Structure 1
């Protein structure tokens, strides 16, 4: 009970921090008055960038709207936007909240493809490590109790691949048979060493982060259908496809010869586990 209270306190403190960041905005830049001196009111960023519109995006329309606001605000307050983005990203990753793909695309739209990629990789790894630590300190017994079949299956596969543990974790990141957030909270239960966990996240999610960040960067530059079929956009889409296929193919080739992943499906369960669930029902 004490561990649960500690976790609630940390979540509450992080939530208050994120709320204060999103509501106490520094003075924003003014939108240019394109009509000259005709008495038209100049719209300030505080009017355009209202705190009520600051929320985690759940679809592409919300993503584009939020990206436009943050890009405009980023002109004079890069440090603030960076702090806000990092805080929001770490909040999601640390507390195992799904939806990092939209934040990766947001990073590409706001900060560009390369700064966005570096940010996404660092924040993914840091947030996943925080999640690992929180699970290790507060939640190991709850994870094993709530997901007994999935934890049991992963434990068995970890033991079977103990000699190639790093590459097994890379395989699970490249081919998510179980969600990344679930791996983050389960690895402490499986006694995965933190250095192996840390570098498997950092390296294993580079292709995924690259795809999302590049997609966000392209979406922010597209204003019409003609832009989609330009040579530049097509070349970038081809690069994204290659980045997704080549590392995955190499890991899959290695896994066939060295890893034991039979019996796992894309949800991290086994056929035996499914049959057990049916019998319980």
Structure 2
């Protein structure tokens, strides 16, 4: 119970910090009311320049919310770059550290806000650091609880990890390139599997580059389109195809290496079923 209470205190403190950061916004853009709102209120002129809409920031759950959030933060970035960077890093580390799904939207937001290369750099660093925090939290607070909640899944991963101990780094890269289990589950089970932190750190940093690359580049493209017609244009489709092909190259190399080196038979058979049960 002590471990659970300690973890809950950390979650509560981090949530409170993120809440304060997202609600104490610097002065932002003012929005004019729509024509319908003006007709209802009987106003034909612009609103009072001193009036400002109260803004609250939330994690995006779909592409429309992502675009709206990106547009808002782009304004703040021109005036308050340090604030936007701190807010983005804090939100990303919050999700990664506590194994909360939804990193793909934040990766796309990184591309929309910081561009393709700075966004990719940020996504890779934050993914790695956040996953390492998750590793440490699991090792400190949750090992016994994870084994109790997912005994069969942990047992399968533990068995395959031991079989591939001589090629552990490439085994972990394979799991990142071809996620038969969710990334968050690999993060929380890594201490149970006795994976050294250094190997875990670099396997996340390198293994998630293709995934981060696809998401960040997609975010860059989405930030440049204004309608669905733009999304399905030949230019956009060719860019997405090129991104997918580039991201597939590292995975193809790892898969070629794994065929003669790694032992994945049982994992191949049960991996997709394991992934579905953990979603």
Indicate yes or no: 2:255 matched with 1:255. Answer: no
Q: 1:70 to 1:44 in 2, by over 3 A?
A: farther
Residue 265 of structure 2 aligns to a residue in which SS?
A: coil
1:186-197 alignment runs, 5 A limit = 186-197=189-200
Cα distance in 2, alignment partners of residues 212 and 68 from structure 1: 18
Aligned to 2:218: 215
Flag structure 1 segments of 5+ consecutive residues without an equivalent. Answer: 33-37, 275-281
Over aligned residue pairs, what C-alpha RMSD do you find? 2.2
Cα distance in 2, alignment partners of residues 93 and 45 from structure 1: 37
Of 227, 233, 237, 1:229 maps to 233
Cα distance in 2, alignment partners of residues 10 and 91 from structure 1: 11
Aligned to 1:50: 55
Of residues 10-19 and 221-230 in structure 1, the stretch that sits farther from structure 2 once superposed is 221-230
Indicate yes or no: 2:6 matched with 1:2. Answer: no
Cα distance in 2, alignment partners of residues 251 and 46 from structure 1: 53
State the aligned residue count.
Answer: 262
Of 176, 180, 188, 2:179 maps to 176
1:79-94 alignment runs, 5 A limit = 79-94=82-97
Of 102, 109, 114, 2:112 maps to 109
Residue 251 of structure 1 aligns to a residue in which SS?
A: helix
Indicate yes or no: 2:43 matched with 1:40. Answer: no
TM-fit CA distance, 1:183: 0.3
Aligned to 1:135: 138
Summarize deviations over 1:224-246 as a string: whole Å, max 9, x none.
42464354x34532331122221
Cα distance in 1, alignment partners of residues 50 and 130 from structure 2: 34
Structure 1-normalised TM-score?
0.87
Are the counterparts in 2 of residues 149 and 269 from structure 1 also a CA contact under 8 Å?
no
Residue 18 of structure 2 aligns to a residue in which SS?
A: helix
Are the counterparts in 2 of residues 161 and 168 from structure 1 also a CA contact under 8 Å?
yes
1:264-275 alignment runs, 5 A limit = 264=267, 265-267=270-272, 269=274
